[in-house]
Amino acid sequence: MPPAPPTLKESAAYITQLGKPTAAEVLARARESGRTALQPRCGVGGHREMALLLKELETEGRPDLLTLTIDSHTRLRRFEHAARALRTDHRTLNGYPLVTHGWQRGRELNELVAVPLEIRHGSPDPRELFATAVACGITSFEGGGISYNLPYSKDVPLADSLAAWAEVDHICGELAGLGVVMDRELFGTLTAVLVPPSISLAVSVLEAVAAAAAGVRCISVSYPQSGHLAQDIAALRAVPLLAARYLPAGTDVHAVLHEFMGVFPRRRHHADDLIFYGALTARLGGASKLITKTHQEAHGIPDAAANAAGLRLAAVARSPLLDFVTVDEDAVAEELEWILRETAEIVEPVLAAPRLDTAIVTAFAAGRLDIPFSASRHARSEVIPRRDGDGAVRYHSPGRLPLSAASTARNRRLLDGPTRTGGSTTGSTGLPGADLFQALRRDIDYFPLLFGELPQDTTAPGSTTADSATSTPGKEPAL
């Protein structure tokens, strides 16, 4: 009979005695030094294979944190399905089934590497997974009641996922009382396709307010790279300002950049350019952490060598020799001003309600909160994003979001303004249905088009997008 899982107090003692830094400590050092911490995605089904993958990535890529990406069965609490897959062929799993492997094996993985581990998953109800992660001594856990529900699940009520994640956050508060600060990373990337910065940050603000009220002491706010330098830097710089505005004093908050999660270029030199560009964006935006990508993104699941190469390439952007690289600070300041304004317009009516969880559910039902391309019927998905002529993500239609007339007018003006080639967009805010669909395809295929891997006229009969599986709005985003 397997041993009983440790108590929370025993798990806290194990973490303290483990002899390695916690994720919160790594993030704090990264912010203080101005040297962005690097973390890859990785997760396979077999225990031996997972151990070898972690060790190879640590040796060859020298990350600051490592990941256990969890399989889909575990995400949906189908633990028997995960166990059956382990008995038959672990290669059918798309991640590591931690609950099924158990906390003792999880500790083996944790003790194998010198850097802290984070759990990335996508579960609307992660309570068993979180309990196992804590027993393993893992000190970073990603997700939230909105961000790990609406992008992934078709019909999980928001009230249920918010309640489940509230339990997780309350346990984080208990752990803090025992001397262990868990990093709770919020998945602001959402559907990862053309996410306007103010939507990403608004969802993270609401999840962060709930987490801090439950006692969470360390919160990471992740943001998906859009590909527009000034907009992305402004979004990252907005994180500490929003934290100061909405969170209690003493909450440790970190900005995290996910390198571009949309359609990646297929040719390696183009993919490497995009990886390096993302790392520079994180540096200039003051991100505490960067979630890296690989040159194999457009071709399927990356192997360990490509993952390590992505880490090494991103690390180059941290060199002091690149201190001369700057950004148009006036453009960043303008973007920052409007991102903060739009975010406030979205979140403040919700925060003013007596009960935050009820207000979130009600606002999503009414469309006053929304995310584009949602997989869930509990979001209206009436928001339609578009890229403007310079590639920044704007609101083609804000749906029922409570944006001011000034914010809406600015988005419309920028979408109807000059293109990067100096031409005119011919009134993009008024496109009919078929033309809008083709325009969205071009926006989603932004980087393959920019690098010339696709013909500019993707609306021609018979034309296709690169990597069509990854370019489908509403597809489950990568972790």
Residues marked as catalytic: 75, 142
Q: Label the pairing between strands 393-397 and 384-387.
A: antiparallel
Length of the chain: 479
